[in-house]
Amino acid sequence: MISAGTTAAAADDRRYVLSLGCPDSTGIVARISEFLSDLGGWIVEAAYHADPNSGWFFTRQAIRASSVDLSAYELRERFAEVAAELGPETEWTLHDSGTPKRIVLVVSKDGHCLHDLLGRAAQGELPAQITAVIGNHRDLEPVVRAHGIAFHHVPFPKAGTDPEARAAAFAEVRDLVDAHDPHAVVLARFMQVLPAELCEHWAGRAINIHHSFLPSFAGARPYHQAFARGVKLIGATCHYVTADLDAGPIIEQDVTRIDHTYTTRDMVRQGRDIEKLVLARGLRWHLEDRVLVHDHKTVVFS
């Protein structure tokens, strides 16, 4: 096993993280901060966003766990009353950073995102543990095992062939993933289109990295599309997976400059660096409860 890492925050860094979205109205900030203040809660991070378009309010607050005399469970019970006052549409989570989250990665042959995330995990940089990797090829199995992580091989028939075998393979992936009840299912260049029901089943937890600056060049072979159009920058997009291909809520995007000398092979090479960065950032924000989804768009309290 390569490295233990420190995936959970150190004790003095332990935080309760509240993320909430609800219809906007006067007094929400006051209500929440009064609640926390009454418990002696020491707020170490607080972010707010009122969206004039949707009329929704969003907040994320991180409280030093040691400042309140309650377990996360008790705090959740208490806060539920506040949330109820904010209306029935209110959505919220309250996470204890001392309880590490779990990630399952789904990969194919291309290893750059996998190598990158394994390296970050080994450095203790991810606020979660990679509990398993599932691949439709065995190419990446050795490096995964070298990191002391389970690897499951699920072969897939080619897209467009043998729909029953494909359905069975997806069912096996689903079961393997669900066995870990992960907070994030990361399609790290998996290259297979998930069936709609899996998108639905993992809604809000399945994260994809697409190798273009969406909405440009959705679908197959985006670098070839970029080459054909003659763009001067290429990019990558980290987004939640929905049944609508490459159209889910965008978490993070970035670009890198290219020029006329770049072949598609050069783009593939240079694009990897952006894919790795964009996925790593988006995944970290997701795991730290910094991403709130509403109306098919994200609020990211990065």
The H or E element that residue 278 is part of is helix 264-287
Q: Pick the closer one to a copy of itself by CB: 22 or 177.
A: 22
Q: Which residue intervals of 53-162 are DSSP H helices? A: 72-85, 112-122, 141-146
Pick the binder of a copy of itself from 70, 91, 98, 125 (CB under 8 A).
125
| 122 binds a copy of itself, rule: CB under 8 A | yes
The interface region with a copy of itself, picked from 46-54, 81-89, 175-183, 200-208 by CB under 8 A, is 46-54
- Interaction mask 72-101, a copy of itself, x per CB under 8 A: ------------------------------
| Catalytic hit among 244, 246, 254, 259 | 246
* Residue 246 falls in the annotated catalytic set: yes
Instruction: Report d(CA 207, CA 63) in Å as an integer.
Output: 27
Measured CA distances, 249 to 154, 253, 281, 282 (Å): 28, 11, 15, 12
Residue corresponding to tokens 């995102």: 113
Q: How far is CA 291 from the centre of its chain?
A: 8
Compute the Cα dihedral for 268, 159, 190, 205 and give only its sign.
positive
Number of neighbouring beta carbons within 10 Å of residue 190: 23
| 27 binds a copy of itself, rule: CB under 8 A | yes
| 273 binds a copy of itself, rule: CB under 8 A | yes
| 137 binds a copy of itself, rule: CB under 8 A | no
Binding to a copy of itself, residues 3-22 (CB under 8 A): 3
Q: Pick the closer one to a copy of itself by CB: 155 or 215.
A: 215
The interface region with a copy of itself, picked from 26-34, 84-92, 165-173, 192-200 by CB under 8 A, is 26-34
- Interaction mask 229-258, a copy of itself, x per CB under 8 A: xxxxx-x-------------xx-xxxx---
The H or E element that residue 136 is part of is none
Beta bridge partners of 46: 61
**How is residue 66 written in tokens?**
């040691």
The interface region with a copy of itself, picked from 69-77, 94-102, 182-190, 270-278 by CB under 8 A, is 270-278
User: Least distance from C-beta 135 to a copy of itself, angstroms?
Assistant: 14
Instruction: Report d(CA 32, CA 29) in Å as an integer.
Output: 5
The residues that are catalytic are 246
